[in-house]
Amino acid sequence: MEEDLYKRNSATKKVFKTLLIVILILGGFLGGSIFGAKNTDLIIKNSVLVTEDDSFNKLFEVKDMLHNKYYQDIDDDILLEGAIKGMVNSVGDPYTIFFNSEEYKDFNNDGSGNYIGIGVMVGIKDNKIVVITPFEESPAFEAGLRAGDIIKKVNGISFDGTEMDKAVSIIRGEEGKSVTLTIERDSVEKDIEVVRRNIVIKNVSEEMLENNIGLVTLKQFTEGTGSEVKEAFESLKKSGSEKYILDLRGNPGGFLNEAIDIASLFIPKGEIVLYTLDKADSRKDYLSKGGDFTDVDLILLVDEGSASASEVLAGALKDYDRAELIGNKTFGKGIVQQAFTVGKDEGLKVTVSSYFSPEGKVIHEKGIEPDIEVEIPEDVELPLTKDTDIQLKKAIEVLLEGKTN
């Protein structure tokens, strides 16, 4: 399952007019398949493609040669999908991806937190596929996968960061079937077999700790989590909570609008939560909507698994001194993707901009340093308990000492 900070949108086929040209080139002429492309501006004369661009002629030549010379029949639909994915992959950004119908359905299902898989979020570091977090009680966690593991192979096939979408598509599969991951940890490689199952993630939970300290744990920024976090804080407040801890450890991100909604609980209305810059250096500011917790004592727990939307929230609260960060440096994904619908039921996810904290701090490939660094010892058994979670203990200690804000 892929880790993303992205926005939802849709686009008509007109956005992909150039793509339709490629479709027509790859499709058969004179009664052959046109792959559903009904309108183009190209003109065909005497069965010859007329274009002033030699690159189109080259594509047509390769397509024609494949059909004439390849020793087996070629499925034009597969040929088209491969051509589109090749074009998208050539951008060189592992977060810019074309999805076929089935992949796009899975991608959209991620928004609910429910899917068939192994329960792991991955990202890219140094062109390697890295585990951001295995969700507790998931097959991945139970099999021994941990944050920071590098996935070298899936079912014996090697993958690097540019092929993350391919790796993810193989990791997912039929419920009850196993997948073998070759991971690297501390420079040592080993194989881990994981059995896929239906993954259902409870994204928001709340708990009243000692001394009226409210703890809210957020696993992902999926649809509706902004409202769920607000309800959790309000519930704890009604129960007498006066100080709060928001646990973002192992949270790989998700929807940008949910991050804005949650940040708005703690940041005065109208203040910048983050801003983005696109390829034209066009700036867009995302502003707080305001909330009822702008003056409470707050601790954020973060670690190397806190990424993307988690870093939006952490960066904003840190810049405004609205929360103290405790734990480890965050993952470092500071780019935004936008999802477009292509055709009837396929999709294209594109990296459209970089984002920055309110003070203009770069997050991508840098991460956010905690105010107080607390390292969980390597020999501590996972999952953590209240007795072994020294990061949580430190947060409680700081709140009781009144050092926040």
Active site positions, annotated: 308, 319, 333
Kind and range of the H or E run holding 287 = strand 283-287
Contact 256, 316 (CB under 8 A): no
Integer Cα distance of 113 and 147 in angstroms = 19
Size (the chain), residues: 405
Contact 122, 131 (CB under 8 A): yes
**Burial label, 130 (beta-carbon count in 10 A; 0-12, 13-18, 19+):** buried
Spell 132-149 as b/e; 16+ CB within 10 A means b: bbbbeebbbbebebbbbb
Calculate helix-pair angle for 256-264, 225-238, nearest 10 degrees: 20
Q: Are strands 213-218 and 43-45 parallel, antiparallel or unpaired?
A: unpaired
Contact 358, 271 (CB under 8 A): yes
Contact 289, 269 (CB under 8 A): yes
The two tokens of residue 248 are 């973002």
Kind and range of the H or E run holding 193 = strand 188-195
Other beta carbons less than 10 A from residue 8's beta carbon: 14
Query: What is the three-class DSSP state of 315?
Result: helix
Integer Cα distance of 323 and 244 in angstroms = 10
Q: CA torsion sign, 360 to 362 to 363 to 367?
A: negative
What string of DSSP letters covers 218-283?
A: E--B-TTHHHHHHHHHHHHHHTT--EEEEE-TT---EEHHHHHHHHHTTS-TT-EEEEEE-TT--E
**Burial label, 50 (beta-carbon count in 10 A; 0-12, 13-18, 19+):** exposed
